[in-house]
Structure 1
């Protein structure tokens, strides 16, 4: 038999060389596309991946004057203290209830609004309505909280003045434990609902008009078209956004809750975000607050992966 020379490249080596040449040719061809990619890549590296190193604070008893490396390693001690804390149950309950309210009331709101806008046939009115509902997204949450105070305060608030005129009584909305959660959800819907319709309207814009025409010929009404054409067109978008939303179950947004929080409604208003701020910034418990934040992040990752797995099991498109 003819012996293969040691200098003769193998099939694997040739394949590797061809892949390298193909990659280099793609880099030369699309070099400006990769240049455009650099700012976004640098942003994620500097502000998302490098700060992950700080998660080690959760396993140390960090002392600013000692430094990061020389601080004592305590393992899971801060996690144990957090789970044994009597306030843990209250924080978990408040956070989960607010997240449940968001999923039930806020998450479907942009979908319903997008479906309603999709039925508007006059382009001028549709653009006007879209502009009006997009504007609140660009208003600062500080302004939203201030407007809420102006309308609902018992000291001259418009709503309470009307209640006093017609019912002879006032309601302390801002300090009431019963009204705190409805106010948070109403603020969120008013501020973010319009902007949230963008993705759904973009998905609806890709629906073939001939499908609606064929359904009309077959005698289908608006509800039939909605159920069999419109909703299936945005189903994948709904599933993906739901998966991503599950990653924020323990994240209710610090700014909004902090602005509406006061000593009278703290029992239902204190959540993990405000607790991390209170412990980390106002009390200087950096390691302890990092442990709380890391707990939130781990739970969020687990929920995203679990929801994505369930979506794929039911034949839907996941995020990967």
Structure 2
């Protein structure tokens, strides 16, 4: 009973952390901008630059207009950091390769031993992204800032959510030659627990991270399950990368819309600039990553190796 309550508590905390990580930073920015919203009513107030009327028509003597509020945003971005606006869009920071390597190593360790807890974290992230993207879309419509880049972000979020759900369905239901990820994980836990514990921080790292991964792949190779395990891990990794990229694009979107209400820092300008320069090719890359995620989750790699893979059923509808 105690173990079950502990497991429920850990899973609940994991989900809450995931939801907080995904939703709190953008929503904090939303709360900050709302403080200035009362004096920002009416597009084209003096402190935010001039709006541009791009269309208008008369209905029963009343003139209805469409406002291009992106002009206000660009004006405030330019006034905040004119030098950044004339530079090429900022690229990834130095050391990103090493960061990616460490992230993959940590992800492998978590996937090998704690993928159940990890699934609750991902569930929380999904909930947070849904809330954040919905609020962002409402705000963009209300402030007349819905444009091509906004549509790209919305499409990417939908793709990321679909790919992630599909990947985790596979992780929990896929079988290969009578083995599932859970049955392999149970054996890994038993083998690691049977190994003598080493003292100190090094021993803890070996027990928590190194030993599970090493045992995972040892069992997988010995029982001809390596491609199966690798395929599911790749599906998890690609889906997590999609969610991370999608969340980053959401945050950039929020930063961009924040300039509707005034000026910001140079760092904020760089983020907003990344959003404004999104193009169709970025969406194509995202679609390719989503396709790879679906392919790995569906067991295509395993099917190419043999024909004993039982993949999860296609979602209804």
Q: Normalising by structure 2, what TM-score?
A: 0.30
Larger Rg over CA atoms: 1
* Greater strand proportion: 2
